[in-house]
Structure 1
Amino acid sequence: MEAVSKNFFLTLSKSAVLNKAAKRWGMGFGASKVVGGQTFEKAIPIIKKLNEQGLCVTVDHLGEFVTSKEEAISRTEECITTVQAISREGLNSQVSVKMTSLGLDIDKELVVKHMKQILTEAKKYNIFVTIDMEDESRCQATLDIFKQLKAEFDNVGTVIQSYLFRSDQDLNILNEFNPNLRLVKGAYKESPEVAFMDKSDVDKNLKHLINKHLLNGNYTAVASHDDEMINYTKQVVREHDIPKDQFEFQMLYGMRSQTQLDLVNEGYKMRVYVPYGDDWYGYFMRRLAERPANVAFVLKGMFKR
């Protein structure tokens, strides 16, 4: 049943028709529980409250199904405006960006141009930018762009997904760049030809990647709500005397909020991923797909003031 539920929501997440309709609906169906707002201005009070609680943040202007150069330019301008607002408001926040929202499906060189504009502006304010990872079909292009940008900018990182077979080798290739990486399980529907289908294999590989990246001496963001992964990371850093400024934990806004605060109280760096924008549909569906408990969480939130 869990597999059926996951596939159902992942299939829905790819619907451009439903995504377009969702923009008209507004922040419905409980999406406001996991999305910071339809604009960055609306997300600012949420970010400030998280910062006051000792939590760091990364923000992401949600955007999928971008098929025109004009829309990609608009997304780039929005990201630059967000960077400026983070500085102006004194927020403890980084920025996350998706390559498809900047035009990856249109022209690779267009994306590189847009990313350089964003990174140049972010560097002025000492703001770090993470390139989000999307589905496997876009993985190589994303990593190629990251490597190209890393040669020029030091305020950029990216994401590695443990459900992909290729991830261990990707870690080997990227190691020469001393990369700041967010390590995740992955949230897209993939073929068994490229990805582990068994959760235990995905979990095992994530532990392997966490251990390897930490022992390589690189900055590691462990993005998981799973206690097993959190405790495993704590164990590795204790056993190898890894300093706390070499890693952080990351979780999604609206998920396991008390655990986030507990980690802060234990002295760990904890970053909350706060998405915003009216293009919330695909993100929201993937969150529902990740765990059946998320569906119950959202349904409860829909009827609770």
Structure 2
Amino acid sequence: VTEFILVGLTDVLEWHVPVFTIFTLIYLLTLVGKLGMILLILLDSRLHTPMYFFLSNLSLLDCVYASAVNPKVMERFLTGDKIISYNSCADQMFFFSAFVTVESFLLASMAFDRHAAVCKPLHYTTTMTSTMYVPIVTCFYFSVFLQSSINVAFTFHLFFCHSNVINHFFCDTPPVLDLSCSGIYINEIVLLILATLDIAFTLLVILNSYLLIFIIILRMRSAEGQRNAFATSIFMYPQLSSSHSMDNDKIASVFYTMVIPMVNPLVYNLRNKEVKRSFKNVLEKQIIYWV
């Protein structure tokens, strides 16, 4: 096999142009929202904090893994070409799985950051320093890239001799494994081990952090203090990411590859007072500069 054929979402030709238009709009809104957020954080020094460092990385990851899937999907709707080369399929699988997994680690980091801000506010500035969180995020990237490399290597060392038709709209691991005429037992074991380690780590950090936050809030006597603590603790990126779709559920895949990255800036970033204030200040400076 030197190339694969992606089944896609629909074969109804009348739907291709409308769906292409909708997906293109979603993709552009995603890029504008995420890149705008990154630019805003870079320009405003008041947003140079650990939480916004994590948030800028999350925004970058959303752009990358959306770009790993969406352009090819839109191209197929426009041209009708469902073919993807062997190497392009491997690249798509690597980047998508890597950046979605990094995102889950960053969500855990944000939960720990909120735990430090609520439970130990007096030590927050000495605990969450750039010398601490930058190396941690770097390790996340390195470890996940290594995991994705192992996953792609184990997947594409298999023989594909029965069919080259992938029952999906992008090269995700489960539908590609379904095409193999080799034994995939080792692949399943490797995937299970990697997924278990990732999920166990992120869930342990997130649940432990928010459990401790909840206990601290319950101990507060002041209602105002409880409201402030809740406001701090829910400063969390509300996104559910998955590195694969269950039972090849394409509709669910559309949501986590296209829709969720688009709406996150709207439901999260733009509701935050600091973000809105920084956006207003940056906009006013640009207007003054050009006038």
Structure with greater helix share of residues: 2
- Output the TM-score relative to the length of structure 2: 0.29
Determine which structure has more spread, i.e. the larger CA radius of gyration.
2
- Output the TM-score relative to the length of structure 1: 0.28
Structure with greater strand share of residues: 1
